[in-house]
Structure 1
Amino acid sequence: MKNYQTALERYREAAENGDLAASRKLGKVLLEEGLRYMEAAALNGDGEALEILSAVLDSANKLLYKGQKQEGRSLLAETDFSQVQAGDVVLFGRHISKDEPMAWKVLDAKEGRVLLLSEDILEYRAFHDKWGLVTWESASIRKYLNGDFLARAFSDKERFIIATTKVEAHENPMCNTDPGRDTRDKVFLLSAVEAERYFPVNLDRRCFYCFADRKAGARPSWWWLRSPGFNEANAASVWEDGTFAYSYVRDVRGGIRPALWVEA
C-alpha cells in the first residue's frame, strides 16, 4: 500500500509539472480505483453508487464511440439508443469470430425501442441443417441466433436490453407458401415484407461480408430472409444485386444478417 501511495504522489507531482503521460496515467489509475469502489458499493445495495456508476459508464461509452469515423460513417455510443434515428449506425456487441465491435444500422425507432439490422453480413450459414420442408419457426438458424449467437456476441448488460419481440409470420408477397406461425424471439431475420419496407430500392439491399476487403474489389454476397420461398424447402433471400430470390434451405453460402429490437 505504501508503494502504491508513493507511486500516486509521484504521478501527481509529474502531472502538476506538465507531464501529460503522467497525467493520463494518474487519471487512469484514479478512475479504475473509483470504479472498483463504486462497483463494490453498488453490489452492497448502495443505490446512489449504482446511479453514479451507471452515469460514469454511459459517459465513457459516449467518449469512446460518439463522433468516431469508420469508413466515413458516424458511430454512436454502443449502449446509448435514446437519441438515435433511422439511418444511424451504432456499435453493439462483438463479432464472435473476431474481437471487434459489430456495426448495426438503425431501421426504426418508436415507442421506446429501436430496430437494428447488422450493417454487414456477419457469417455464412444454412437456413436449416436438414433437407425438407421448414419455416422460420422450426429453422435451425432461428435456434442458432437465439442460442449460441446471442450468448457469445453480447454481454449480460447488452442482452438485458435486447427485447423479446413478436416476430410475425409474414407471407411472401411473391408466392403463396405457408409461412408458419408467429414466434417470440430476441434475434431474427427480416421478412421479405420488412426488407422491402425498409429498403425500397434494390441497390440499398446489397450487402458485403463484414471482413471483406472492399478496396480490393470484394463482391456483395446474398443473404437470408425468414420468409418462405416457392415452397417450404426454399427460403427467401436477397441476391447480390439486391433483388429478391429463393434459395434451398441447406445452402451454406447464405449470408446471416441478424435483426433485433433494443430498449432505448
Structure 2
Amino acid sequence: MQVGDKIVFGRYEWRVLDIKNDAALIITEDIIEQHAYHDAYKDITWADCSLRKYLNGEFYNKFNTVDKSRIIPVLNKNLDNQWYGSKGGEDTQDYIFLLSIEEVVCKYFGDSSKNLENRSAKQRYWFQRKDINNNKRRSTFDGYVWWWWLRSSGRDNRRAVYIHGDGNIGIQGNGTFRYSSNTIHPSTGDNSGGVRPALWLKYQSQ
C-alpha cells in the first residue's frame, strides 16, 4: 500500500493519504452522502456536533466486526480558525472523522500553507481561486461536482469550513444547520454539505 493508492474497505472506495508504522490514513474517494454539520442552530464545534456523533455511531456501526477491528481510534487536534479566531473546541478521540483545514491545506492535497498563513487584504471568504492545488480537492457526489465539509470552525461557531465545488477553501464556512443556499444538488434536491469520512486503518495481516 502506498500514498495515492485507491483501496476498497467496507462499502466504499478510499484514497490513501498517509502511511505511518502499520496504519494508513484513508478518505473516501468521493463524497458518499449529504449531511448537516449539526442538528440545531447554535454555536458548535466538532467535539459536540451531530455529524461527529453520526460518523462515530451509526456510520461506524455499518462496518462488520472484522472491519471495525482494523479502524484505529485517534486523538484529533482541533485548532482555532486562523483567519477569524473562532474556537476549534476540545481535542477529540475519533474512529471516523472529517479532515481539518490544516490537513487539507498543508499536508494531503498539496501545500497551500502560504494562503493560510499570509491572508491578503482582498481575501475575505475564500483562498485563491487560482491555487494550483484546488483541482486536487474537488470532489463529486452521485456524479455531480459538490462541496464537502471539513471539521474546522468557520468565521464563527455557527459555520464550518468547507471545500467549494471548484476545490477552493471556504475558510469563512457554511452554516452548520439548515445551510441557506439556492444551489441544490441535481439528483437529491438537497443543499446540504457533502461528507468524505476519513479514518486510520490498520494493515491487514498476511
TM-score where L is the length of structure 2: 0.78
> Partner residue of 1:73?
none
C-alpha separation in 2, matches of 1:107 and 1:174: 26
- Report Cα offsets for 1:14-47 as digits up to 9, x if no partner: xxxxxxxxxxxxxxxxxxxxxxxxxxxxxxxxxx
Q: 48, 57, 68: which is aligned to 1:138?
A: 48
- Report Cα offsets for 1:156-183 as digits up to 9, x if no partner: 1001110010011123333311100101
C-alpha separation in 1, matches of 2:9 and 2:39: 28
C-alpha separation in 2, matches of 1:110 and 1:164: 14
C-alpha separation in 2, matches of 1:263 and 1:172: 31
| 4+ runs deviating over 3 angstroms | none
The residue type paired with residue 247 of structure 1 is N
C-alpha separation in 2, matches of 1:111 and 1:92: 19
Q: Does 1:247 align with 2:194?
A: no
Name structure 2 gaps, 5 residues minimum: 111-132, 180-190
> Partner residue of 1:160?
69
Q: Does 1:126 align with 2:36?
A: yes
> Partner residue of 1:262?
201
> Partner residue of 2:22?
112
Once the two structures are superposed, the pairs formed by residues 83-122 of structure 1 within 5 Å of their partners are: 84-94=1-11, 102-122=12-32
> Partner residue of 1:221?
146
The residue type paired with residue 134 of structure 1 is I
- For the 8 Å contact 2:79–2:87, the answer to whether it is kept is no
Deviation, 1:139, is: 0.3
> Partner residue of 1:172?
81
Q: 163, 167, 185: which is aligned to 1:238?
A: 163
As a proportion of its length, which structure holds more strand? 2
- For the 8 Å contact 1:169–1:181, the answer to whether it is kept is yes
> Partner residue of 1:192?
101
> Partner residue of 1:69?
none
Q: Output the aligned Cα RMSD.
A: 1.0
Once the two structures are superposed, the pairs formed by residues 199-210 of structure 1 within 5 Å of their partners are: 199-200=109-110, 201-209=133-141
The residue type paired with residue 165 of structure 2 is E
As a proportion of its length, which structure holds more helix? 1
- For the 8 Å contact 1:205–1:242, the answer to whether it is kept is yes
C-alpha separation in 2, matches of 1:174 and 1:187: 26
Deviation, 1:198, is: 0.8
- For the 8 Å contact 1:173–1:192, the answer to whether it is kept is no
The structure having more radius of gyration, on CA atoms, is 1
The DSSP-based 3-state class of the residue aligned with 1:261 is strand
The residue type paired with residue 249 of structure 1 is T
| Fraction of identical pairs, as percent | 38
Name structure 1 gaps, 5 residues minimum: 1-83, 95-101, 213-217
